[in-house]
Each structure stands twice: as C-alpha cells, then as structure tokens.
Structure 1
Amino acid sequence: MTNGHGEQAASEAMERLCAVKWERDWGDVFGKSMSRRLLMREYLRRSALWAQAYSAESAWPFFDVTGYMDPEFKLSPNTAHKLEEFLRARMSEDVKVTCRGAVRLAELRLHNHAIRTLDLPDLYEPLIRLYERGGEFMVDNVGALDLTGVSFPPGSLQGNASYTPIVALHDTVLDALDIEGRVTFYAYDSDRGPVFRRLLPQGGGQRDEVFSGKLGWQPTTQLSTSDGDREYVRIYDQEAARIIEDAVLGVPRFAGPGIDQD
C-alpha cells in the first residue's frame, strides 16, 4: 500500500527524469565528461552495496532493486501510467531499468520504515545527476561503459563495494571538475590542498590554475615555479574531487600559501 508522500516522491523523481535533455548537446556532454565518469563510478559503488544487501548480485550493475526488496510492490496507478509513457522514449534498456527503479524506489521507501532507516546511500541519485549532466550512457559490445567522451569497464561488484565514496553529489564540486580539454590535477600530496590543475586546451597552449573554495579556479604560476621544500604530486580526479569538496564545504585541511579558504 502506498501513501500520498510516497506518490509525491515518485512524482518528483519523474519530473527530474522528464526534464533531462535526452537529445544530447555533444559539446556540453564532452565538457562534462569528468563529472559524469565520477558519478557513474559512485553509482557502481552504491549499486554494489545495494545488490549485496538485497541479494541482487546477479543483476548488478543496472537493475530495479525494488523487485528484490518487495516483490509485491506496485506503483500507484497514476505514477505507473506516467512512468510507462516516459519509458516509451528512445533510450537504452539499462537506462530504462534504472529510471524505472528510481521512480519505484522513491515511492517504496517512503512508506516502508525498514527501507528508510537502512544505512545505505541513495542508490539512483548519482545516475540521475549523470543524466541531468548530459543524457544517457551506453554499454558497448565488450561491456565497457560509454559515457560519450570517456569509456571504461565497470569492474567487479566486490571491487566497487570496497571503494570509499568517490564524488560528492554537490553541483559546485561537479562543476569545478569539468572543463573541455586535457586536464591533470596536482597537490602538495594526495591528502592536502589546495588542488591545482594543468589544462591543455584543444586549441593548444597550457594554463595552470588553483582551486579556492571562495573564488573557484584562479590562475597560478606555482606549478611552473620552483617552491623550495614543496613538491607537487599528480593526483587522480577522485582525490581532486575530495579536496575540492573540502574547499567548498570549508573543511580546514588546506596548506597552500596565499590561498584564502574563508
């Protein structure tokens, strides 16, 4: 049995999915390839945890978890009708099954106390964010995930389940990760800020920038200037995302000269 709050939550999920620009703007998608990749990796991590919790390992990574949680569950008729109308759109089956799962889970969890209190991260939110930042993804004929502009294998369920959280679902963090061109990130070490990036734009040249939580990306010469005792090390984008998140949230772990994080 569903209630009004559950149906409202499902309707809100439907509204977000219907607002996605499924006909992709290729330039926009390429410009957001890094945040989309990290969002997909965060979804793979979360879906591995949910699959283990509800014995859905054989369906991982793209599945509707509600069938494993409550086989008798049915959406309210109005929401079910809207969902099926939406799913008639042209999109891959993996995208359809996760969209269906997102709407069904939104309604199910708000009228089932055990589900609400289960200590698991929101399953489908990283994928909805990914869709909102450039539309669908595809699985190619060798099983790699094609996000347009970036492609990678999903890895194993066990491996993904063991990861720490990969990226914050925070628009400022996601926006700070994205830019067109080849990007490499640096820091004084992998656990301390600030984070630097070296951008090689498609038109040529090079640009170095440093991230400030208050000011965003700012030009810097520190990467190309000798700095005595300090040694810059290259870091992965997941590490850069965590440092950027701390800067955005004002976590006092930064150690960079001349960087105001207030």
Structure 2
Amino acid sequence: MIDERGEQAASEVLERLCAVEWIGDWSEVFGKAMSRRLLMREHLRRAALWSQKHSAESAWPFFDITEYIDPEFELSPSLSCKLEELVRGQPSGVKATCRGAVHLAELREQNPAMVPHDLPDLYEPLIRLYERGGEFITDNCGAVDLTGVSFRTGSLQGNAYNTQVVPLNDAVLDALDAEGRVTFYASGDDRGVVFRRLLPQGGGQRDEVFSATLGWQPTTQLSTSEVDIECIQIYDQDAARLIEHAVLGSAPR
C-alpha cells in the first residue's frame, strides 16, 4: 500500500469515505487512539500549510480548501448527491473535510495546474483517521475528541512549523496502537531500536521491542529500573519515526 494517495479520483475518495464505519465499537476505536491522535496532528500541520498557501487561515483547521482555490468549482451532480447523503448528520468538521476531500480530488482531475504540488496531500491523514475509527467532534473551547483521547489543536502557526508528525503507512500506524497505557523508549546506542512499556487495562506490565518482521516481541531490557538501562524515554512522534525506519529500512529523519 502506498503512503500517499493524492492522485485518487473523486469517486475513489468518496468510495473510501462511504466504507467508513462512522460510529464503531468503542473498545476497538479506543485501541487505535494513538494512531488517530497522531493522524489528527498531521492533519493540523498540513491544513496549516494549505491555509497559509491559499489565505484560508480563518477557516483552519477543518475546511473545504476548494472554496479558496477555485470559488466557482462545482462537483458533478451524481457525485454531489452521494456526497451530501454521506455527510448528512455528521459533525461540522467531518462534514467540511469529507466535502473537501472529494472536491479537491475532482478539482485535481479537472484542472491539475490549480492544485499545488509542493504540499503534502491535505485530506489523506483525516481519511485514514476515519478509516481507523470513524468520526471526531470538536467543542467550543477548541478541543478535539477522538473517542478515548481529547486534546487542543494549538495555533495555526505552531502547527505550520511542525515537522511531519506520523508517516501514512498502515504498518507504522498499527504498530503504534495498543490497548492500555504505552510509554516508548529508544536505545541509547544510536541503533534506532524502539521499545515500549505497556500497561494493559486489566493490570500488569509488558516490556516489548519492535521488529519489522516479528512486530512487538517480549524483552527483558526494560525490566530493570530506568536508571540501570541504556534507554531513553521518547515521544510517540519519535517512536513513529523509528518504527518507520524499521519497517521501510530508511534512515530515521
């Protein structure tokens, strides 16, 4: 599976959105809270870049970018009817971004020169978020609720200056998720090895190391106190880069 899908036709984007289970099983969605949170943060970053490019700062972070690229753009009637049926009753942020994803794909197909090629695909992180657990909602205080995790979006400028939050690779996203509380660690010897300490909801503790071929495997390296081991605690965003390095065999960024 390729990481970016920016060249998809509008009908393909709409088909993916129609296949989403918008209100899924709570426990299953909660188990994907980390990847969904990182995907949302990646959307916030990309949306900041696109909004700056097209003077859409006031609409950030959940908007239909085609309204700013080409205000006269219209979706074909057949796709428009199916799209509006899909978004009926959805939260406002979901509604705007689903429309934007389909509209941008159609605009790119109709007039490629109007769509910038120097920016990462705007809506792919959100589409993947939807595919991994359905909708999100926002409150009046600027917080985003992803079912099991809630956080504030921060400022447009702060998100625009951020680096890539998470690679859009299913193997990496799957490796980030777990049921329970997770803390990530990296080896202190520059080998790029990533570990995690997992505290399942039912109690207990598991220490694991990631392998591209075997996934998460039990380890004893984290079984002693943190003072005695040659590992440092890292953020989940850094863990995503190390997992990407293991999965794709590329140098960590």
Residues 1-262 of structure 1: pairs in structure 2 closer than 5 A: 9-88=9-88, 90-116=89-115, 118-189=117-188, 192-225=191-224, 231-251=230-250
Code of the residue aligned with 1:159 in structure 2: it is G
Q: What is the SS of the residue equivalent to 1:224? A: coil
Alpha-carbon distance between aligned partners in 2 of 1:195 and 1:119, rounded to the nearest angstrom = 32
Q: Using a 3 Å threshold, how does the CA distance of structure 1 residues 227 and 203 change in structure 2: closer, same or farther?
A: closer
Alpha-carbon distance between aligned partners in 2 of 1:178 and 1:169, rounded to the nearest angstrom = 14
Give ranges in structure 2 of 5+ residues lacking alignment.
Answer: 1-7
Q: What is the SS of the residue equivalent to 2:110? A: coil
Alpha-carbon distance between aligned partners in 2 of 1:227 and 1:184, rounded to the nearest angstrom = 12
Code of the residue aligned with 2:41 in structure 1: it is R
Q: Percent identity over the alignment?
A: 72
Deviation at 1:116, TM superposition (A): 4.7
User: Does the 8 Å CA contact 1:110/1:116 hold for their aligned counterparts?
Assistant: no
Alpha-carbon distance between aligned partners in 2 of 1:190 and 1:227, rounded to the nearest angstrom = 15
Deviation at 1:225, TM superposition (A): 4.6
Q: What is the SS of the residue equivalent to 1:234? A: strand
Q: What is the SS of the residue equivalent to 2:183? A: strand
Deviation at 1:130, TM superposition (A): 0.4
- Relative to the length of structure 1, the TM-score reads 0.89
User: Does the 8 Å CA contact 1:190/1:233 hold for their aligned counterparts?
Assistant: no
Q: Using a 3 Å threshold, how does the CA distance of structure 1 residues 192 and 143 change in structure 2: closer, same or farther?
A: farther
Q: Using a 3 Å threshold, how does the CA distance of structure 1 residues 189 and 67 change in structure 2: closer, same or farther?
A: farther
Moved more, 30-39 or 70-79: 70-79
Moved more, 27-36 or 192-201: 192-201
Code of the residue aligned with 2:21 in structure 1: it is K
Deviation at 1:192, TM superposition (A): 4.9
Alpha-carbon distance between aligned partners in 2 of 1:118 and 1:74, rounded to the nearest angstrom = 21
Code of the residue aligned with 1:181 in structure 2: it is G
Structure 1 equivalent of residue 4 of structure 2:
none
Alpha-carbon distance between aligned partners in 2 of 1:230 and 1:201, rounded to the nearest angstrom = 22
Q: Deviations over 1:66-85 (max 9, x none)?
A: 01000111111211111112
User: Does the 8 Å CA contact 2:210/2:243 hold for their aligned counterparts?
Assistant: yes
Deviation at 1:191, TM superposition (A): 6.7
Q: What is the SS of the residue equivalent to 1:49? A: helix
User: Does the 8 Å CA contact 2:222/2:229 hold for their aligned counterparts?
Assistant: no
Q: What is the SS of the residue equivalent to 1:222? A: coil
Alpha-carbon distance between aligned partners in 2 of 1:140 and 1:192, rounded to the nearest angstrom = 42
Aligned residues: CA RMSD: 2.0
Alpha-carbon distance between aligned partners in 2 of 1:115 and 1:161, rounded to the nearest angstrom = 22
Alpha-carbon distance between aligned partners in 2 of 1:252 and 1:122, rounded to the nearest angstrom = 23
Code of the residue aligned with 1:44 in structure 2: it is L
Code of the residue aligned with 2:124 in structure 1: it is E
Alpha-carbon distance between aligned partners in 2 of 1:231 and 1:179, rounded to the nearest angstrom = 24
Aligned length: 245
Q: Using a 3 Å threshold, how does the CA distance of structure 1 residues 190 and 85 change in structure 2: closer, same or farther?
A: farther
Deviation at 1:204, TM superposition (A): 0.9
Give ranges in structure 1 of 5+ residues lacking alignment.
Answer: 1-7, 254-262
Code of the residue aligned with 2:101 in structure 1: it is A
Structure ID, larger Rg: 1
Alpha-carbon distance between aligned partners in 1 of 2:233 and 2:9, rounded to the nearest angstrom = 42
Q: What is the SS of the residue equivalent to 2:222? A: helix
Alpha-carbon distance between aligned partners in 1 of 2:76 and 2:182, rounded to the nearest angstrom = 47
